[in-house]
Amino acid sequence: MLGRTDSRLRLVLLLLVVAVGAGALGLRLAYWQIGVGPELQRMADSQLEQPTVADVERGQIVDRRGTVLARTAYRDLLAAYPDVMQRREMVIQTAAGLSLILGYEVDRRLELLADLSSGDRYFPVEERLTPEQSDLVRKGLEHGLLGALKLESHPVRFYPSAGGAPETTLASQLLGFVTDDGQGRYGIEQSSDELLAGSGGATANVVGAEDVPRTGGHVQLTIDASLQLALENELQAAYVADRANRVSGVIMDPYTGAILAWASVPGYDANNYGRTANRAPQMFTDPILSEVYEPGSVMKMFTAAAAIEKGVVGPLTLVQDSKNLFLGDNVVRNFDRRSMGVVPFEDAIAHSRNVATGRVALELGQTTEEASAVLYDMWQRLGIGKPTGIELANEAEGIDHPPAEGEWLRIDLVNRAFGQSVAVTPLQLVNSFAAMVNGGLLPTPHVYAALNGELQTAPAATRVITEELSATLRDMMVHVAETGPHYAEETLIPGYVVGGKTGTAQIWDAESSSWLENVYNHTFVGFVGAERPEAVILVRVHDTEPHVQHRWGLGLQMTTNQLFKRVAQATISALDIEPLPGALPAQPDSEPSPDPRDRREPRPQADPTTEPRTDRPVEAASTRRHRRARRDARIAGRG
C-alpha cells in the first residue's frame, strides 16, 4: 500500500510541474504575440522589401548666361550573359555584330569572341555606349541578330560643348571631370563636389512606394562660353603656329576679379577622361592655377611701380642704358646685346632694357638691402608670392625669395627686377596687372557667379597703390603697345585703348644646372577697353623655341602680341565693348589664324627684308597725344 501512495504523490508533483511549465509557455507566447508582435511584424515585412538605391542626378554647371557646360546624361552599359547563349552560331554572329557596332579591331574582336564563348553568367562588354551604338544594339536584339545581351541605363557626367582644339571639351581644365564612381576630380567638379553630387536615394518596397532622391545643386560660373571657345581657338592657333609645348590664356574683369575665360591647350576630352589618364595625365593639371614659371620682363612693370612710387624716376626721367652692367663677377646684358644710350624711363620699359631697369632697381634704396625690401614690398602688395584666394583647389603660391629670409645680392636684385629668379602663376600675374590698371585695387579672382541659385559676392578689392600711380602705370603700358619694337602693328586695335607688357624668359634646367639653349617662356599681359580698361588678358606660350626669322630677329610665328590682339578682339565682341566716340570699330586681322583643327606646318611669314610699316591708326595717335597731355599736367602738378 505504501508503494502505491508514494507513486501517487510523484504523479501529482509531475502534473504540477507540467502545469506550471505550460502556464509559463503561455505567458511567454502572449508576450511575443501581444507585447512585441507589432515590432516583429515590421521586421518580417522589411525582409520582403527589395531595396534599390536610385542614382542622384548630379547638378548642372552653366556659364554666366546659362549655357550648359556640364550635366547628367544617361548612357547604356552593355552586358552579356554567355551561359544562356546555347548555339555556337549565335556566339559568332553576336561577336561579329558587336565588333562592327563598337568599331573593334581584330585583337579586341577575338577577345570578345572568347568572352562570349566562356559560358560565364555575366560580364560587361562596354560601360558607356553612345546613343547611336545603343540604338544599333536594340535593333540587333529586336531582329534576333544579337543574343544574350542587355542594355542597362545609368547616369554619366556629360560635357556637351566641344573645345577649341581637336578631341577636347570646352573648359576641360577649369571644369575637371567626374569618375565612374561619381567623384569630382580637378577644377569645378572637385571644388563643388559636395554641392553638385547631392545626397539621398530611393527605396521601393513590395507595394511600390518610393522616396524620390534629391538632385545635386547647380553651379553658375562667371565665364562666358562663347568667349571661352574663342580663347581656346586662338590658343590652339598659336600652339600650331609656334610649335609650342603648351599655350595658356586667361581673361579677367579688372574691377570685380570675375574670370571671363580660362584655358590651356592642349586640353582633353572630359567625356573620355580615361584615355587622357592613360596617355597624358599631366594634362589634368591646370598651369594657370597650379604651375609657377619665371615670367621675364613683364615684371619690369613691378619695378616701375616701385620706382615711381618711391620717387626714384618718373615716366620721362632720363635713364642710362648700356650694353653691359657689371656687378662683381656677374654681367647683365640686354636681350639684343645693344645699348640705347640715355632714354626716357618709359622707353626703357617699352623696349625692355634689362640694364636700364636694373640700374633703376639699384636706386630703390641706399643699400641693396633697402632696395630689395622696396621691390619685394611692391610684389607683396600686388599679390606676388601668395595665393590669390580663388575658390579652386591646388593653387600654387609662387617662389619670391623674401629678402628677410635670405639676403639678396646686387645681382639677385637686378635679375628679379626684370623677371628672372622669381616664379609666379599666370593667375597671380593677371591679378596684379588688374590692380595696376583699375585704379590701384587688388581684386580677388573668382569663378562662381551663383551656387544653387544664390548669387555669390566676391570679397571687396584691397587698395594696394594710389589711383595716380595706377593711372601712370596704365599710360606706360599704352606707351609700350604704341612704341615697343614692332608692337604697334601687332597689338593696337583701332577705336580702342590697348596697353600691356611682354616678357621673354629663359628656362632653368635643374638637371643640368644650366639655362636651356634657345628655349623660352613668352608672355604678354595687358588690357583692352575704350573709356576705361574693360578686361585684363594674359597669354603665355610655354617652353618654346623661336624658329621664324623676322625683320627684327628670330621669333615666334605668332608672337604673344599678335595672340593678345586676337584674344582682345574676341573679348571686345563677346562683351560688346563700344569703341571710343568717333573712332572706327575694331576690324579683324586680315590674316586668319592658322587652322586650329590640325597640326599643319605654319603658314610662312612675309619676306623679312620688307620695310617696316610706319603708318599708325589716327585714333591711336590722338589717344597718345591726349595721354601725354594728361601725364604732363600731372607731372607739372607734382613739380
289-424 belongs to which CATH class? alpha beta
Torsions phi, psi for 570 (to 5 deg): -65, -35
> In the chain, what is the straight-line distance between the N-terminal and C-terminal CA atoms, in Å?
145
Q: Is there a contact between 425 and 292 (Cβ–Cβ < 8 Å)?
A: yes
Tell me the DSSP string of 451-470: ETTEEP-PPPPEE-S-HHHH
Q: Three-state SS for 424? A: strand
Asked if residue 537 lies in contact with residue 528, where contact means CB atoms within 8 angstroms, the answer is yes
Q: Which three cell numbers stand for residue 194?
A: 559636395
Length of the chain: 639
How many other β-carbons are positioned within 10 Å of the β-carbon of residue 292?
A: 18
Q: How far apart are CA 543 and CA 244, in angstroms?
A: 7
287: enclosing H helix or E strand: helix 287-290
Among 392, 457, 390, 450, smallest CA distance to 65 is for 450
User: How does DSSP assign 94-152, residue by residue?
Assistant: HHHHHHHHHT--HHHHHHHHHHHTS--S-EEEES---HHHHHHHHHHHHTTSS-SEEEE
Rounded-to-integer distance, Cα 300 and Cα 334, Å: 13
At 51 the pLDDT is 42
CA dist 275 and 270 (Å) reads 9
DSSP tag of 299: G
- Cα–Cα dist 239/597, whole Å: 11
Distance between CA atoms of residues 384 and 474, nearest Å = 19
The DSSP 8-state label assigned to residue 255 in this structure reads T
Residue-level pLDDT at 35 = 61
Cβ–Cβ < 8 Å for 16, 10: no
Cα(410)–Cα(377) distance, rounded to whole angstroms?
17
Single out the residue of 221, 574, 252 nearest to residue 443, CA to CA.
252
In this predicted structure, what is the pLDDT of residue 21? 63
Walk along the chain (639 residues) in steps of 10 and give the mean pLDDT of each run: 57 64 63 60 48 67 97 88 85 89 90 88 86 90 88 90 95 94 93 85 37 75 97 97 95 98 96 91 94 96 98 97 94 92 97 96 97 98 96 94 95 96 96 98 97 91 98 98 91 96 89 84 97 97 83 81 97 95 61 40 31 31 43 36
For residue 399, the cross-strand partners are 423
Encode burial over 447-477: b for 16+ CB neighbours within 10 A, e otherwise.
bbbebeeeeeebeebeebbeeebbbbbbbbb
> Which residues are within 8 A (CB) of 267 and not within 5 positions of it... i.e. 6 or more apart?
163, 165, 168, 169, 172, 173, 232, 283
Three-state SS for 345?
A: helix
Which residues neighbour 246 within 8 Å (Cβ) at sequence distance 6 or greater? 239, 264, 265, 266, 287, 542, 543
Burial of 405 from C-beta contacts in 10 A (0-12 / 13-18 / 19+):
exposed
**Residue type at 472?**
T
Q: What is the pLDDT of residue 441?
A: 98
Residue 180's identity, in one-letter code, is D
Number of Cα atoms under 13 Å in the Cβ half of residue 481: 30
pLDDT in tens, 183-194: 999 999 999 999
**Total Cβ atoms within 10 A of residue 330:** 13
Pick from 252, 286, 250: nearest CA to 266: 286
571 Cβ contact list (under 8 Å, min separation 6): 227, 251, 260, 528, 534, 535, 537, 577
Within 8 A by CB and 6+ apart from 209, the residues are none
Instruction: Kindly list the domain boundaries of the chain, sorted by start residue.
Output: 82-147, 289-424
Strands 149-158 and 318-320: unpaired
How far apart (Å, rounded) are the C-alpha atoms in residues 577 and 574? 8
Contact 267, 371 (CB under 8 A): no
Q: Is 259 left (phi over 0), alpha (psi -120 to 50) or beta?
A: beta
Q: What is the CA radius of gyration of the chain?
A: 35
Task: Give me the residues paired with residue 546 across strands.
Answer: none
Residues 258/458, Cβ–Cβ less than 8 Å: yes
Assigned C-alpha cell, 405: 629670409
Q: Please state, in angstroms and as integers, the Cα–Cα distance from residue 160 to each residue in 25, 68, 97, 172, 271, following that order.
A: 70, 8, 29, 11, 9
Q: How far is residue 418 from each of residues 22, 341, 348, 493, 567, measured CA to CA in Å? A: 101, 18, 12, 27, 25
Question: Comparing C-alpha atoms, which of 195, 191, 182, 175 is closest to residue 454?
Answer: 195
What pLDDT is recorded for position 7? 65
Residue 264: predicted pLDDT: 96
Report the alpha-carbon distance of residue 98 to residue 129 in Å, rounded.
Answer: 12
pTM here?
0.79
The one-letter amino acid code at 192 reads S
Residue found by looking up cell 531582329 in the block: 143
The DSSP secondary-structure symbol of 207 reads T
Task: List the grid coordinates of 591.
Answer: 590674316
Q: Cis omega (within 30 of 0) on the bond before 266?
A: yes
Location of C-alpha cell 560660373? 221
Say if residues 502 and 523 touch (Cβ distance below 8 Å). yes
